[in-house]
């Protein structure tokens, strides 16, 4: 069952989020440092819609962290591939969520602990015979879309899968529309929840299915530019660790989405 379909007590949910806010909110008048946070569209995490309009659980959670750090924050949204350039050039201080790779670790400095753990999945048309993942070789004849700049399994390449990298905004939504238009056969994401959220939307839920890829779970960290890490990393690690003692991001997302649905 998806997080956004759960039906918990509204009073309990509001109380839980209020307590987290009280514990981690600090008087803004004391804030003297400025932190520019880059992010990209990831359905359910950094953007989702309810009857009141767009929301963002991950940005709200990160604001609890930065309030504890006693800094003022500016959020800037860019396509994923451009975010790396902006961070490397020092035009932003950090990227909110990023997978680690040896190449990236040479350029950026990561938080000590991850914000969340994710699991890979594949979106396919309902008429596709595959209902469960068996092997990457079984995908050899498919055309798979992915995010430009995202990490994806080398096994996809080795299997001979035809990969198209999509850039810009609303990548998963556009990927799903390409799937329905028969311009692709599927969309790969390292995060199953983002695919499940998009698949649950009315225009897709009868035509697209999401299958789990049983690869080892992956962890998403916050990445800082080297210069910004000297200034902010220690405070960020401490604030994130303290917040996670009270509420993990996964639990926060669960409550945030459920509260929004009521």
pTM for the whole structure: 0.82
pLDDT value at position 2?
A: 45
> Does 124 lie in the same domain as 7?
no
pLDDT above 70 for 210: yes
> Does 108 lie in the same domain as 35?
yes
Residues making up the chain, counted from first to last: 262
CATH of the domain at 25: 3.40.190.10
Contacts of 166 (CB under 8 A, 6+ apart): 145, 146, 147, 148, 174, 175, 178
What spatial distance separates the first Cα and last Cα of the chain, rounded to whole Å? 16
Q: What is the mean pLDDT of the chain?
A: 86
- Coil, strand, or helix at residue 213? coil
- Print the domain residue range for 188: 120-212
Q: Which of 19-33, 73-87, 133-147, 201-215 is least confident? A: 19-33
> Does 147 lie in the same domain as 35?
no
Tokens coding 153: 């399994």
What's the number of domains the chain is made of? 2
pLDDT digits (tens, 9 = 90+) for 162-182: 999 999 889 999 999 999 999
CA 113 to chain centre: 16
pLDDT digits (tens, 9 = 90+) for 84-128: 999 999 999 999 999 999 999 999 999 999 999 999 999 999 999
Residue 194 falls in which region: left (phi positive, over 0), alpha (psi -120 to 50) or beta: alpha
The secondary element (H helix, E strand) that includes residue 107 is helix 102-107
pLDDT value at position 257?
A: 79
pLDDT value at position 5?
A: 44
pLDDT above 80 for 187: yes
Tokens coding 103: 């190449």
> Does 91 lie in the same domain as 50?
yes
pLDDT value at position 169?
A: 87
- Parallel, antiparallel, or unpaired for β 71-77 and 33-39? parallel
> Does 226 lie in the same domain as 104?
yes
pLDDT value at position 6?
A: 42
> Does 132 lie in the same domain as 234?
no
pLDDT value at position 175?
A: 96
pLDDT digits (tens, 9 = 90+) for 2-21: 444 444 444 345 445 544 54
């Amino acid at each position: 069952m998806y997080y956004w379909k759960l039906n918990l007590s509204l009073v309990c949910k509001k109380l839980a989020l209020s307590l987290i806010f009280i514990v981690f909110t600090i008087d803004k008048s004391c804030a003297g440092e400025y932190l520019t946070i880059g992010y990209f569209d990831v359905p359910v995490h950094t953007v989702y819609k309810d009857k009141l309009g767009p929301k963002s659980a991950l940005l709200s959670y990160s604001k609890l962290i930065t309030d504890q750090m006693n800094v003022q924050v500016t959020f800037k949204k860019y396509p994923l591939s451009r975010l790396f350039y902006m961070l490397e050039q020092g035009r932003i201080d950090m990227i909110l969520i990023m997978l680690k790779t040896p190449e990236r670790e040479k350029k950026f400095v990561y938080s000590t602990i991850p914000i969340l753990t994710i699991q890979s999945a594949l979106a396919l048309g309902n008429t596709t015979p595959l209902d469960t993942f068996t092997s990457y070789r079984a995908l050899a004849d498919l055309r798979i879309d992915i995010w430009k700049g995202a990490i994806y399994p080398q096994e996809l390449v080795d299997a001979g899968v035809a990969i198209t990298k999509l850039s810009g905004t609303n990548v998963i939504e556009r990927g799903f529309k390409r799937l329905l238009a028969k311009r692709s056969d599927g969309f790969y994401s390292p995060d199953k929840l983002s695919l499940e959220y998009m698949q649950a939307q009315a225009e897709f839920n009868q035509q697209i299915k999401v299958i789990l890829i049983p690869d080892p779970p992956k962890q998403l960290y916050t990445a800082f530019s080297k210069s910004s890490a000297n200034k902010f990393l220690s405070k960020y690690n401490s604030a994130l660790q303290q917040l996670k003692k009270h509420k993990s991001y996964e639990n926060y997302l669960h409550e945030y989405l459920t509260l929004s649905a009521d």
